Amino acid sequence: MPDSLKHLLLVEDEAPLREAIAEQLVDRGYHVQQADSGEAALAHLAEFAFDIIVTDLRLPGIDGSAVIEAAVARYPHIIAIVVTGFGTVKDAVEAIKRGAWDFVSKPFQIDELLHVLDSAIEQRRLKSENAYLRSQLEERYRFEDIVGKSRPMERLFQLLETVAPTNSTILITGETGTGKEVVARAIHHNSSRRAHRFVALNCSAIPETLLEAELFGHVRGAFTGAVGNRQGRLEQAHKGTLFLDEVGTMSVALQMKLLRVLQEREFERVGDSHTIKVDVRVIAATNCDLAKLVAEGQFREDLFYRLNVIPVQLPPLRDRKEDIPLLVQHFLAKFEADRDAADAASGKPETERHLRLTVSQEAMRRLMAYLWPGNVRQLENAVERAVAFTAGRSHIDVADLPTEVQQAQETVVASAVTLPEDGMDLEAFVASIERELIQRSLERTGGNKGQAARLLNLKRTTLVEKIKRIDKRA
């Protein structure tokens, strides 16, 4: 019996029977409280959160059903067992409707009751484990919009859970389209700063000359065109999070000023001498190799260390192919919802609305085989395009995919370069490479085994042997 499920309330008006049962239950490790009436039971329930209640159905005053109803209303997790008199199954059914888990009929052997309790506890344990797992999932889902179940993503979620609530500066790195901004937002929304602003500044989208004023703000007349006083992004992000995107493109002069902000949390508006203090958390992102920029003298080393307090690396999509089907479903749902909303807005009758889309297995295979240089963003665009192409059909097929994705081949050889995290089946893998290369050699030579053998530097007989073995395996 799990330790956490041992507090039991026993309700029975016949004292000798009640005491006998209680004694047996105590012997089995339960902590038992006894009540001799419905009223007494309710009083106990008001005082203590029992794990289990075992109650006789027929009680003077408030009856067992009502006790159960009250117990379950107060403690939805309580395990309620009723004890019924001989031949009153109808009453037992009634009690179950009111929330009882199970029943035993009088007269019963103690073993019968113990058995009912054991199985109820076991089921409750499973149920709460499921509830726990579900809550974990929901919890995870709170990292809004971040889809992924692969090992690299699991590790990412773990890291995010740990670092999001802190105030530490974070440097997110990853190829284009891997989700750097989504992750930055998720960190903010999972931190105590969530009630304040998430302010994003893309350092590469703003001309160098304006970037400084954008970040720090300016006073009137600070430079040509500075007509009024203006708050910079840093001030806007006070108490919140400042997201510095593409931080690698910042000029060395500005890097110096940013360094001061990170060290002192203070700065001046452009053209002003008044020092402003801010409380911001900085999250920076880059798709370039900052360490390399440091080595090349393009990026200040001290700033790099100030930013890289917690490095968060986002895996490219090709390293987590197993997430592709999940992402496809996620984006399908998103674009279908958009489409449905458009349909509804245009007053299209229900019957003419679009069908729920599915993706053919062959199309999914191509989606998974493609290397996605543009990562999740590129995949998202491909799904959007496919949804638009399937007007009237319920199936996304290979032809609905962008040409380069259509042409993607499952090349085992390409993935041979790395040893997967979880290890691999070497023999099966080598066999699949062998099979693939033999197939290709035969394709190239139009099925001529002699020529194919020469291409592979094999004796013809050896090739024939291998083909036979492959055919047998297939």
Ligand X SMILES: Nc1ncnc2c1ncn2[C@@H]1O[C@H](COP(=O)(O)OP(=O)(O)OP(=O)(O)O)[C@@H](O)[C@H]1O
Binding site for Mg ion (CB under 5 A): 180-181
What is the spatial distance between Cα 233 and Cα 231, in angstroms, rounded to a whole number?
7
We find the least distance from the C-beta atom of residue 391 to ligand X, in angstroms, to be 23
Closest-approach residue to ligand X (CB): 179
By CB under 6 A, is residue 151 in contact with ligand X? Answer: no
Residues in the interface with ligand X (CB under 6 A) total: 18
The region that residue 447 occupies, defined by phi over 0 for left and psi between -120 and 50 for alpha, beta otherwise, is left
Burial class of residue 321 in the structure, from the number of CB atoms within 10 Å of its CB (0-12 exposed, 13-18 middle, 19+ buried)? middle
Q: What's the distance, Cα to Cα, between the start and end of the chain in Å?
A: 50
Among 34, 37, 105, 287, binds ligand X (CB under 6 A): 287
Length of the chain as a residue count: 474
Burial class of residue 307 in the structure, from the number of CB atoms within 10 Å of its CB (0-12 exposed, 13-18 middle, 19+ buried)? buried
CA 401 to each of CA 41, 318, 378, 396: distance values in angstroms, whole numbers, following the listed order: 66, 17, 12, 8
By CB under 6 A, is residue 182 in contact with ligand X? Answer: yes
Site string for ligand X, 305-344 (x = CB under 6 A): ----------------------x--x--------------
We find the least distance from the C-beta atom of residue 288 to ligand X, in angstroms, to be 10
Among 28, 197, 365, 377, binds ligand X (CB under 6 A): 377
By CB under 6 A, is residue 249 in contact with ligand X? Answer: no
By CB under 6 A, is residue 241 in contact with ligand X? Answer: no
Residue closer to ligand X by CB (options 37, 287) is 287
Contact 304, 291 (CB under 8 A): yes
Among 14, 19, 112, 145, binds ligand X (CB under 6 A): 145
Alpha carbons within 13 A on the beta-carbon side of 401: 25
By CB under 6 A, is residue 12 in contact with ligand X? Answer: no
Among 1, 96, 113, 147, binds ligand X (CB under 6 A): 147
Residue closer to ligand X by CB (options 141, 389) is 141
We find the least distance from the C-beta atom of residue 179 to ligand X, in angstroms, to be 3
Residue 24 contact among Mg ion, ligand X, none, beta carbon within 5 to 8 Å by kind = none
Interface segment toward ligand X; rule CB under 6 A; list 176-184, 227-235, 340-348, 404-412: 176-184
We find the least distance from the C-beta atom of residue 249 to ligand X, in angstroms, to be 12
Residue closer to ligand X by CB (options 203, 327) is 327
Amino acid type, 121: I
By CB under 6 A, is residue 288 in contact with ligand X? Answer: no
The residues near 89 (Cβ < 8 Å, ≥ 6 apart) are 105
Closest-approach residue to Mg ion (CB): 181
By CB under 6 A, is residue 180 in contact with ligand X? Answer: yes
By CB under 6 A, is residue 187 in contact with ligand X? Answer: no
By CB under 6 A, is residue 384 in contact with ligand X? Answer: no
Beta strand 395-396 with 358-359: parallel, antiparallel or unpaired?
parallel
**Paired residues of 231 in beta bridges:** 217
Site for ligand X in 339-368 (CB under 6 A): none
Among 59, 146, 215, 303, binds ligand X (CB under 6 A): 146
For the beta carbon of residue 67, count every other beta carbon within 10 angstroms: 31
Residue closer to ligand X by CB (options 25, 284) is 284
Alpha carbons within 13 A on the beta-carbon side of 240: 19
In DSSP notation, 58-120 reads --SSS-HHHHHHHHHHH-TT-EEEEEE-TT-HHHHHHHHHTT--EEEESS--HHHHHHHHHHH
- Per CB under 6 A, residues contacting ligand X are 145-148, 174, 176-182, 287, 327, 330, 376-377, 380
